[in-house]
A and B are shown apart, each in its own frame.
Chain A
Amino acid sequence: MDMKVAKKKLGMKERYRALTRDLGWEPSYQSKDALFPYVKYEGIKVHDWDKWEDPFRLTMDAYWKYQAEKERKFYAIIDAHAQNNGHLNLTDARYLSALKIFLQAISPGEYAAHKGFSRAGREFPGVGTQVACQMQAIDEIRHAQTQIHAMSNYNRYYDGFHAFVDARDRIWYTSVARSFFDDAMSAGPFEFMIAIGFSFEYVLTNLLFVPFMSGAAYNGDMATVTFGFSAQSDEARHMTLGLECIKFMLEQDPDNLPIVQAWIDKWFWRGFRVLGLVSTMMDYMLPKRVMSWREAWEIYGVENGGALFRDLARYGIRPPKGWDDAEKAIDHMSHQFMLGLYQWSFGTSFHSWIPPEEDMDWLSAKYPTTFDKYYRPRWEHIKKLKAAGTPFKNFGLARLCQCCQLPSVFTEPDDPTMICHRETVYKGEKYQFCSDGCKDIFEHEPEKYIQAWLPMPALFREFGGDVPAWMDWVGLRDGSDNGDYDGSRDQKHFNEWRNLATSNR
């Protein structure tokens, strides 16, 4: 006999509703304001949280299934890489400098993003928002873990990988990325979403992950390619979430526009400054280069960024304030920054080097208006100093920018022969900056940035200028982790092992 059985399984749509919107109960013995105390002070007005659409409508059970599948593939490839001495398939061990910077500066950023999204998921009242933030929080911790696991294999063979956690907190160049996240995490939940969802995911992911992963593939680093692929599908979701948040704020109330615009101005510039490290990686650190920093900027900055701002123009958003200054810096920043990294390489937990002649020719071709005119003469002089047995080390430590914390290596937007000097006095104390963009950010919220822990002053404030003691503290082993690649242990080992792998010697 046929009996009509009650439907046991919920459809996708019903399941989504049950796992998200049904969680949004009305509080009875506490006020909403008491439950969500951080959602109003930034000035963003929200009238209807249900208008927040989560673009992916992913439920937790589906999420676990997808991510578990990706993890299985990821760890299978990482195992194969380790067992087959994958590190000897690299084009050259110089490539590892890019990887070391990534591990010291960016992977801990993924972990920071995880903490931030856990917090944002708690602080937003809307259920769609809470669920989206929760998933992104899990994604971010997964990215930190997979990156660390993928790169841990290199730590067995090469210097500079062992102390990335200490480096993240203490060494000078990583404080750029660290301060970016500290700034975001000490802001309110809406600003956090712009900082990470817009700046980190949109501005940085395109220009960091895409060229970085192609660079890894070009240079034979399958471990890194694998974590790149594993993260890529998450990134698409994150970018959509960031954009959804911007649109939601702009659609909820016209008063939100100036606040959102100011955040876009600020976080574009902060993101652009973090990209300083990426530009050196693309133009100098990849033995086999994918494209120049200028070419990457054209595709991912000008084209993709331009399309984004055309899309947001209907809400009244204009391109970020620092956009023109950024464009003027593109043909200079990688050279200015790499020259800095080389002369301060006694204090870096990775190697740098004088570009070989063929690299310089490539740079002249990619930067026809700037490299030969401004930068090649400096490299040639540095080469001469090295040949004379007096390699150039700049023991005048750098003036750091109070906002982005980068050494102030950048020149005036319209004069590449003059360092950009900007300063201000707040409550009787002097502060120095690398650019108008960073000075503006400081002057908007000085009470925040006067507390910045700047690594260079800290070397004198906390160590009385004792560089060896500082090296111990940051986990930098003098003579092996730092200095010129030419003559380093990494160079020696890579060449020996590769010879063993590819010949009978």
Chain B
Amino acid sequence: MAVTALKEYIGVPRDSIEHFGGKQIVYASWDHHLLFASSLMMCLPIDMPFGEMVNGPLTALVAPDPDSAALDWKKVEWMKDNKPFTPDFSKSLAENGIGHKDQIRFHTPGLNSLLKVA
């Protein structure tokens, strides 16, 4: 049994997608850029194009980092589910396979102003 209980017990997931009014949660993390203390959380329309997320909310959120000006979104290495991933900027989050509460990561070799990376 997936919980220690007197009898069979089924939990109800609290944060499933139907509670978010047509939107979904997406987490984004810029590897080695720890000015941002944790992954950035965004709540976005499921049909939002990937490129719109990148150029809109994501660009705004990473602006305080000194590397943000040199950030070329076309060149970053993306990961999803901690595996390499090639997004299509013109397609929606859903079409890119980015589901509710998924996490994407982006890696920018050479851009390390605040953190020496071995």
Contact = CB atoms under 8 A, between A and B. Distances in A.
Given A377-B115, A397-B41, A456-B41, A421 B29 contact: yes
Interface stretch (B19-27, B46-54, B70-78, B85-93): B19-27
Contacts of B5: 41
B81 A396 contact: no
Contact of A394 (B13, B36, B81): B36
B40 A381 contact: no
Nearest to A37: B6
A460 B37 CA distance: 20
A409 B37 contact: yes
Contact of A451 (B14, B101, B118): B14
A417 B115 contact: yes
B38 A457 contact: no
24 contacts: A37-B6, A187-B4, A188-B4, A343-B36, A378-B34, A392-B35, A394-B36, A396-B36, A396-B39, A398-B37, A399-B40, A417-B32, A418-B32, A419-B29, A421-B82, A429-B100, A430-B101, A445-B4, A446-B11, A448-B3, A460-B43, A461-B19, A461-B20, A465-B43
Interface of B: 1-6, 9-16, 19-21, 23, 25, 27-29, 31-32, 34-43, 61, 64, 66, 81-82, 99-103, 105, 114-118
A446 B115 CA distance: 36
B38 A340 contact: yes
Contact of A407 (B12, B37, B115): B37
Contact of A340 (B3, B10, B37, B115): B37
Taking each of A340, A377, A399, which has the highest tally of chain B beta carbons within 10 Å of its own beta carbon? A399
Interface in A362-379: 373-374, 377-378
A322 B29 CA distance: 25
A421 B114 contact: no
Taking each of A187, A374, A417, A427, which has the highest tally of chain B beta carbons within 10 Å of its own beta carbon? A417
Contact of B34 (A417, A430, A454): A417
B81 A446 contact: no
A41 B6 contact: yes
In the A-B complex, the 6 residue pairs with the closest CB atoms: A396-B40, A340-B37, A399-B39, A447-B11, A447-B3, A398-B38
A396 B43 contact: no
B2 A398 contact: no
B16 A432 contact: no
A457 B39 CA distance: 13
Contacts of A377: 114-115
Interface in A160-201: 187-188, 191
A419 B34 contact: yes
Contacts of B27: 399, 432
A465 B25 CA distance: 11
A421 B21 contact: no
A408 B39 contact: yes
A339 interface: yes
B4 A407 contact: no
A327 interface: no
A377 B67 CA distance: 14
Contacts of B37: 336-337, 339-340, 343-344, 394, 398, 407, 409
Contacts of B39: 396, 398-399, 408, 419, 421, 432
B14 to A, nearest CB: 5
Interface string A389-417: 01010111111000000011101000001
A464 interface: yes
A417 B41 contact: no
B78 to A, nearest CB: 14
B34 A432 contact: no
A308 interface: no
A385 B63 CA distance: 11
A381 B38 contact: no
B37 to A, nearest CB: 3
Contact of B25 (A41, A340, A417, A460): A460
A38 interface: yes
A447 B4 CA distance: 9
Contacts of A469: none
B64 A392 contact: yes
Contacts of B20: 460-461
Nearest to B1: A447
